[in-house]
Structure 1
Amino acid sequence: MPSRQEVLLDAAIAVIGTQGMRGLTHRAVDAAAGMPAGSTSNYFKTRDALVNAVVARFAARERAAWETIADLVRLRSRAELAAALTAYVHRAVGPDRVMTIARYSVFVEAALRPELQPRLAEAQRAIREWGAQWLRAVGSTAPEAECRQILDQLDGIILHQLAFPDPTLDLGRAIAAAVGRPGRPSSAGANPR
């Protein structure tokens, strides 16, 4: 069961995902959490303290979500990897839309406040390690570089689907192209950044 602080931070993430960083106030978090006025400020005295705690909670939640995926997914082919990532993207732009919007809002905040970057980078490293393991399992010769490129492409697809939804986009086909076809290495492995 989440602690009172975690409930407040999860409510703060929901506020960010529905109202953006500008909407993140102590009062808005109290209301979203269904707690009395002043609850958030009891734990986080300033907005900066709240933002720092939100970033830490967000990074922990993102890492836990990918940890769960990593524990459940056992891939044998690029087609299976593409299918798993397609399911992830469908969730990210559908049922998890609020969390995904919060994710991008947090990333923009980290671009403006570099002190937030280390915690997010730590979670990102863990995600890339899992991705590299999956790619290694399906025969990638450059799994780390390929993982970076695939995740960057997924971020682009997700961001565009959030900002400019295209109901005609075949997500499965777009993601299969990013991952590469079964039996053929992805172009990402041949051109690492």
Structure 2
Amino acid sequence: MRQNPARRTALLDAAIEVLARDGSRGLTFRAVDAEAAVPTGTTSNYFTSRDDLINQAAHRTRERLTPDEAATAVTMQAPPGRDLVTRLLHELLERMRRDRSGYLAMLELRLEATRRPDLRAVLTDVFSANVQEGIDFHLGAGLPGDRTAVVLLYLAMTGLLVDDLTVPDVLASFPPERLVTEMVERILPPAG
């Protein structure tokens, strides 16, 4: 297997684009080669199998969708409270919109995981880590609410993101930005 980390990342990013555009059935080594504009056979030099490519693409989507630490540090200079949680969730919405392909690929991987136990195990680890990191971050920052409130926010945001990124007209009369604000106000206790 080849070891050029930059090339491997470029191939994974190409795989994410293929997943987002063509779904898991369209994810072939040849399709990734074409998307990455590399010679035919390059992807097979970096990944032992399609399963290997899919599993590594799952981890790469997590990397791509993770917030920038420096940007988060700037946001976290605000006092803890509902307003800060609202701002963090608005930033999450914008981050997912900016990397729509990454989010759609992740959704495609979720669907594929219903048919592939090995991928389900990988995604269980990825999303369990996401949820736990979210809880730890929230509670560690002294933000309002408990573990259950953080999970409720996670679930609400997941549903909002699915509709916003796949069928946005469903929310035409309910702007997602306003829904985020309402979500925080209704799930988290007021200060005091």
Shift of 1:38: 0.7
Give the TM-score, by structure 2 length.
0.80
The aligned residue for residue 174 of structure 2 is: 169
What amino acid maps onto 2:92 in structure 1? Y
Give the TM-score, by structure 1 length.
0.79
Indicate yes or no: 2:144 matched with 1:139: yes
Query: Hey, what's the Cα distance between the residues in 1 that align with 2:117 and 2:133?
Result: 25
8 Å Cα contact 1:66/1:127 also seen in 2: no
Query: Hey, what's the Cα distance between the residues in 2 that align with 1:177 and 1:162?
Result: 19
CA distances 1:54-96 after superposition (whole Å, capped 9, x unpaired)? 223334444xx2463654541511122112212321332x321
Gaps of 5+ in 1: 187-193
8 Å Cα contact 2:61/2:103 also seen in 1: no
Which of residues 8, 32, 37 is equivalent to 1:34? 37
The aligned residue for residue 81 of structure 1 is: 85
Shift of 1:41: 1.4
Q: Could you say if the C-alpha distance between residues 91 and 58 of structure 1 is closer, same or farther in structure 2, counting changes exceeding 3 Å?
A: closer
* SS in structure 2 of the partner of residue 112 of structure 1: coil
Q: Could you say if the C-alpha distance between residues 87 and 67 of structure 1 is closer, same or farther in structure 2, counting changes exceeding 3 Å?
A: closer
Shift of 1:15: 1.0
RMSD over aligned CA atoms reads 2.6
Which of residues 113, 116, 119 is equivalent to 1:113? 116
The aligned residue for residue 189 of structure 1 is: none
8 Å Cα contact 2:18/2:27 also seen in 1: yes
CA distances 1:12-43 after superposition (whole Å, capped 9, x unpaired)? 01111122112111111001111101101122
Map 1:19-58 to 2 at 5 A: 19-58=22-61
Higher mean Cα deviation, 104-113 or 117-126?
Answer: 117-126
Indicate yes or no: 2:163 matched with 1:160: yes
What is the identity percentage for the equivalent residue pairs of Structure 1 and Structure 2? 31
The aligned residue for residue 180 of structure 1 is: 185
What amino acid maps onto 1:88 in structure 2? L
What amino acid maps onto 1:138 in structure 2? L
Shift of 1:162: 2.2
8 Å Cα contact 1:82/1:172 also seen in 2: no
Aligned residues: 180
8 Å Cα contact 1:59/1:119 also seen in 2: no
Which of residues 131, 137, 143 is equivalent to 1:128? 131
